[in-house]
């Protein structure tokens, strides 16, 4: 879609806020519907790395859960895998408790697709404030395509406020390297979107209003969902009668052009993850067209893992392609925004993300 509005630039400078200490948590059987309690018990999570997001902005414009949904089943892994630098987080137990507090119903460890006998799992949350079919926001975790879990990272940071704003939330696991190579990861994420569209009625959300967000490698996959269509060849497997397109994308410091050589973690990962796949064909910038959904991109100006030039390149090419896009430059932000001396506060960052999804999904 081509924007009518003019490219504008503005800078937002504020101060970073910190997290609370975690309360004890409890587990819930796989696939069980859990009504949100008045207090805040929830399943135990392993500790996550420190680091919280911040920003400056560049803009371009152009009912009760009483049934068991499809995909129910599976087991909960009580230990969360180690998350590498790149998933913004704070105090995981208290944040997961807030996720539960803001949910009317929760379903964990459901299967969205099965590939070669591997059941691909997701967690699903319905907002307390729901008068009909609501928009759905999907979280794709980071971890260099090789680590991470649906219960960590950005879903904990932003999920509670997305639920409070009336969005349904789904957080995905997907196949990881080195056991699997690309394009397994993007094929899984697209299969999840098709699954959700096929079962929107059971999950009580609007299939025409789906957003997606992720950090680091999860942002790469989210942006690739946003720019690629069926001709890219990533739509394989189940529910092929459904579209894998989304209506809004939020990208936290993800790589956009994998053909560019940059040092650090991602340079080391690329030969393993993309050993038998063309890097250009794995890059979100390769598929940009005017009908792409609106983007919100956030990136630290001191990122040494994925340089900010990656997001600037994505922004420039989206603008050239006539796509609505906002670029958020995080002052003093490293990868994962892991420093106290960054801007703005987490509350303001979260409000920006929620407002973006509200604007484009409501």
Rounded Cα distance between 72 and 195, Å, is 13
Report the pLDDT value the prediction gives residue 124, as an integer from 0 to 100.
96
pLDDT at 37 over 70: no
pLDDT digits (tens, 9 = 90+) for 172-191: 999 999 999 999 999 999 99
Query: What pLDDT does 354 receive?
Result: 96
Could you tell me the domains of the chain? 8-17+46-64+80-361 (3.40.50.1820)
Percent of the chain with pLDDT over 70: 74
Q: Which two tokens stand for residue 311?
A: 């997001």
Return the pLDDT at 17: 33
- Can you tell me the distance from the alpha carbon of 11 to that of 45, in angstroms, rounded to the nearest whole number? 36
The span from the CA of 37 to the CA of 101, in Å, is 7
Residue 27 has pLDDT above 70, yes or no: no
Q: How confident is the model at residue 62 (pLDDT cuts 50, 70, 90)?
A: very low
- pLDDT value at 237 more than 70: yes
pLDDT class of 166 with cuts at 50, 70, 90: very high
Give the CB-side neighbour count of residue 72, counting CA atoms within 13 A. Answer: 12
Strands in the chain per DSSP E: 8-9, 34-35, 57-60, 103-115, 118-127, 134-140, 168-172, 205-215, 248-252, 295-300, 325-330
pLDDT in tens, 210-223: 999 999 999 999 99
**Position 5 confidence tier, pLDDT thresholds 50, 70, 90:** very low
Tell me the per-residue pLDDT of 40-54, one tens digit each, with 9 for 90 and over: 333 222 222 233 232
Q: Is 39 helix (H, G, I), strand (E, B) or coil?
A: coil
Mean pLDDT of the chain: 79
CA distance 220 to 144: 10
Span 111-129, average pLDDT: 96
Q: What is the pLDDT of residues 82-111, one digit of tens each?
A: 323 333 444 577 778 888 899 999 999 999
d(CA 44, CA 79): 8
> Does residue 165 surpass a pLDDT of 80?
yes
Q: Alpha helices of 79-166 — where are they, by DSSP H?
A: 92-101, 154-164
DSSP string, 194-256: HHHHHTHHHHTEEEEEEEEEEETHHHHHHHHHHH--GGGS---SS-TTS----SEEEEES---
- Give the pLDDT score at 91: 58
pLDDT at 289 over 70: yes
CB 139 within 8 A of CB 169: yes
pTM equals 0.78
The pLDDT score that the predictor gives to residue 337 is: 81
């Amino acid at each position: 879609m081509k924007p009518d509005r003019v490219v504008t630039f503005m800078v937002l400078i504020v101060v970073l806020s910190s997290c609370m200490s975690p309360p004890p948590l409890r587990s819930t059987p796989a696939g069980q519907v859990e009504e949100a309690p008045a207090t805040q018990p929830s399943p135990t999570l392993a500790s996550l790395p420190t680091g919280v997001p911040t920003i400056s902005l560049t803009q371009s414009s152009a009912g009760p859960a009483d049934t068991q949904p499809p995909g129910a089943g599976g087991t909960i892994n009580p230990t969360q895998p180690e998350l590498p630098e790149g998933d913004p987080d704070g105090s995981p137990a208290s944040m997961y408790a807030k996720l539960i507090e803001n949910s009317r119903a929760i379903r964990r460890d459901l299967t969205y697709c099965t590939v070669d006998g591997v059941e691909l799992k997701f967690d699903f949350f319905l907002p307390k404030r729901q008068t009909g079919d609501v928009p759905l926001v999907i979280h794709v975790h980071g971890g260099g395509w090789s680590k991470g879990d649906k219960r960590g990272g950005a879903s904990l940071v932003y999920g509670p406020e997305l639920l409070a704003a009336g969005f349904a939330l789904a957080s995905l696991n997907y196949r990881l390297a080195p056991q699997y190579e690309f394009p397994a990861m993007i094929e899984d994420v697209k299969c999840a979107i098709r699954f959700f569209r096929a079962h929107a009625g059971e999950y009580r959300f609007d299939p025409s209003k789906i957003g997606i967000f992720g950090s680091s490698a999860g942002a790469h996959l989210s942006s690739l969902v946003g720019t690629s269509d069926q001709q890219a060849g990533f739509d394989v497997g189940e529910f092929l009668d459904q579209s894998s397109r989304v209506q809004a994308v939020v990208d936290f410091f993800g790589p956009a052009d994998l053909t560019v050589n940059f040092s650090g973690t991602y340079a080391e990962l690329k030969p393993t993850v993309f050993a038998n796949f063309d890097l250009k064909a794995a890059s979100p910038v390769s598929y940009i067209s005017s009908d792409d959904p609106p983007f919100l991109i956030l990136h630290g100006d001191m990122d040494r893992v994925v340089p900010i030039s990656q997001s600037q390149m994505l922004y420039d090419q989206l603008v050239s392609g006539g796509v609505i896009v906002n670029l958020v430059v995080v002052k003093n932000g490293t990868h994962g925004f892991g420093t106290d001396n960054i801007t703005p506060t987490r509350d303001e960052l979260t409000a920006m993300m929620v407002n973006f999804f509200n604007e484009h999904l409501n």
